[in-house]
Amino acid sequence: MEKIVVVTGANSGIGLALCHRLLSEDGQLRLCLACRNMKRAEAARAALLVTHSGARVDLLHLDVGSVQSVLSAAEELKARYHRVDFLYLNAGIMPNPTVDIRAFFKGLFSRNVINMFATAEGLLTQQDQLNSDGLQEVFATNLFGHFLLIRELEPLLCQPGHTSRLVWTSSSNARRSAFSIQDIQHRCGKEPYSSSKYASDMLSMALNKHKNEQGLFSSVVCPGLVMTNLTYGILPSFFWTLIMPFMWLIRIFTNTFTLTPYNGAEALHWLFLQKPESLDPRAKYHSLTSGLGTNYTEPRRMDLDDEMTEVFFSKLLELEREVRRNLSKKTADSEHYQQYLNEIQ
Ligand SMILES: NC(=O)C1=CN([C@@H]2O[C@H](COP(=O)(O)OP(=O)(O)OC[C@H]3O[C@@H](n4cnc5c(N)ncnc54)[C@H](OP(=O)(O)O)[C@@H]3O)[C@@H](O)[C@H]2O)C=CC1
Ligand SMILES: CC(C)CCC[C@@H](C)[C@H]1CC[C@H]2C3=C(CC[C@]12C)[C@@]1(C)CCC(=O)C[C@@H]1CC3
């Protein structure tokens, strides 16, 4: 049976590598690249068709950081497809990152060095801002836009007698101490990325609890450290060129330096081949690469609190109601204004 797979942020990095891998895996696939920039989406589609001529690759405009765009994209998906088998929630941002160089050198000579390279704990901060919906941008893009998309697509994802899958591209940088249940959007802290990724881990578990009965299963992935537009944005490019030989050297000591998007997509691809009942809802599936370059997937237990996960899920549902209320108010206001303009003409 033809599988319908939607990938957000599919035009570059891990998302694009995943698309290549899925097309090589399954010739029957119907792939939908959900991207915010249609020029980049078209270029990605053309690249996929060079190696997979005749493949069915659709494009969809989706800015996960905009409520209106998510709602329109969901409408379009519902008009195009009668179900969605896999939804890869992969789009993500890390705006204005800063590396704490002192912490890096301190960590380099400590016993925590491997963990520091694997998780970037204590090394990275970001500067976030409000978007036009009044939400924190990192939260809105990495988490809330995807949550809203899932809610809108429930008719395509929860079908009787059929299972559908969600796969989140989370991170080893997801950390419980970066997340606050009193500040789910991370308005106050300096680690919005870490907070948003921890939030996706919790949301995945909550969705399993509430939606497995309706045939919807969610999993979380860490792709390892991958050289993509996101990571190239962390340090100046000459610096990356300079330290690249060391990065390949470090790979001998840590299996989390997957480095290429192909390797990083390993666990995302592996999950495509698994039966959902065989998966652990509390596990994060890590893409790993050995020193000799062999790729494999390893589940690792996530640090999650059941009670906080439930509270978080209700807070998201409440925020969804608020966002929808604001949107209908905005629409009503602009309709009244239009009516007024028509009347005075
Ligand atoms: N690289 C790494 O080491 C790691 C990455 N990750 C996660 O992997 C995922 C993919 O990132 P990666 O491949 O590394 O980086 P890239 O920057 O290459 O890919 C990110 C993708 O997300 C898209 N995107 C960003 N914002 C939006 C938006 N508002 N709406 C729609 N699409 C959007 C980008 O589109 P555009 O091209 O238009 O910007 C791009 O296609 C992210 O979630 C990231 O957090 C997790 C752990 C490690
Ligand atoms: C200062 C330099 C000599 C070396 C700096 C190395 C760091 C830039 C990297 C060490 C661990 C890396 C890491 C990430 C980014 C780059 C490092 C901080 C991520 C945060 C990228 C995005 C993720 O989701 C997880 C990665 C964990 C490891």
Q: Which of 229, 232, 234, 268 gets mutated to test ligand 1 (max ligand atoms within 8 A of its CB)?
A: 229
Cα distances (Å, whole numbers) of residue 246 to 1, 109, 243, 250:
46, 16, 5, 6
Task: Calculate how far, in angstroms, residue 91's C-alpha sits from the geometric centre of ligand 1.
Answer: 4
pLDDT of residue 331: 83
CA atoms within 13 A on the CB side of 31: 32
What mean pLDDT is reported for the chain?
Answer: 96
Task: Write a three-state SS string for 73-93.
Answer: HHHHHHHHCCCCCEEEECCCC
Looking at residue 304, which CATH number applies to its domain? Answer: 3.40.50.720
**Looking at the domain assignment, is residue 239 inside a domain?**
no
Q: Token pair for residue 241?
A: 């060129």
**Looking at the domain assignment, is residue 247 inside a domain?**
no
pLDDT of residue 345: 80
**Looking at the domain assignment, is residue 145 inside a domain?**
yes
Cβ neighbourhood burial of 113 (10 Å; 0-12, 13-18, 19+): middle
Q: Residue 235 phi/psi, 5° resolution?
A: -130, 160
Ligand 2: list residues with CB < 6 Å. 99, 101, 104, 117, 119-120, 123-124, 171-173, 225, 231, 234-235, 243
Cβ neighbourhood burial of 75 (10 Å; 0-12, 13-18, 19+): exposed
**Looking at the domain assignment, is residue 253 inside a domain?**
no
Nearest CA to ligand 1 atom 18: 13
- In the chain, how many H helices and how many E strands? 14, 10
Distance from C-alpha of 189 to C-alpha of 149, rounded to nearest angstrom: 26
The pLDDT tens digits of the residues spanning 204-252 come to 999 999 999 999 999 999 999 999 999 999 999 899 999 999 999 988 8
ipTM of the predicted structure?
A: 0.98
Task: Calculate how far, in angstroms, residue 292's C-alpha sits from the geometric centre of ligand 1.
Answer: 27
Q: Which ligand is nearest to the CA of 138?
A: 1
Distance from C-alpha of 322 to C-alpha of 136, rounded to nearest angstrom: 15
Q: Which residues are catalytic?
A: 193
Contact 107 CB / ligand 1 (< 6 Å) = no
**Looking at the domain assignment, is residue 115 inside a domain?**
no
**Looking at the domain assignment, is residue 106 inside a domain?**
no
**Which residue has tokens 């860490």?**
222
Ligand 2 atom closest to residue 94's alpha carbon, by position in its atom list: 22
Q: What is the pTM of this model?
A: 0.97
The pLDDT tens digits of the residues spanning 171-213 come to 999 999 999 999 999 999 999 999 999 999 999 999 999 999 9
Residue 235 DSSP one-character state: S
Q: Which of 90, 99, 257 gets mutated to test ligand 2 (max ligand atoms within 8 A of its CB)?
A: 99
Q: Among 242, 221, 240, which Cα is nearest to 229's?
A: 240
**Looking at the domain assignment, is residue 205 inside a domain?**
yes
The boundaries of the domain holding residue 266 are: 4-94+126-230+258-344
CA atoms within 13 A on the CB side of 218: 26
**Which residue ranges of the chain lie beneath pLDDT 50?**
none
pLDDT of residue 283: 98
Contact 231 CB / ligand 1 (< 6 Å) = yes
Distance from C-alpha of 57 to C-alpha of 55, rounded to nearest angstrom: 6
Task: Calculate how far, in angstroms, residue 91's C-alpha sits from the geometric centre of ligand 2.
Answer: 18
pLDDT of residue 344: 87
Which amino acid makes up residue 202? M
**Looking at the domain assignment, is residue 212 inside a domain?**
yes
CA atoms within 13 A on the CB side of 71: 8
pLDDT of residue 322: 97
What's the total number of domains in the chain?
1
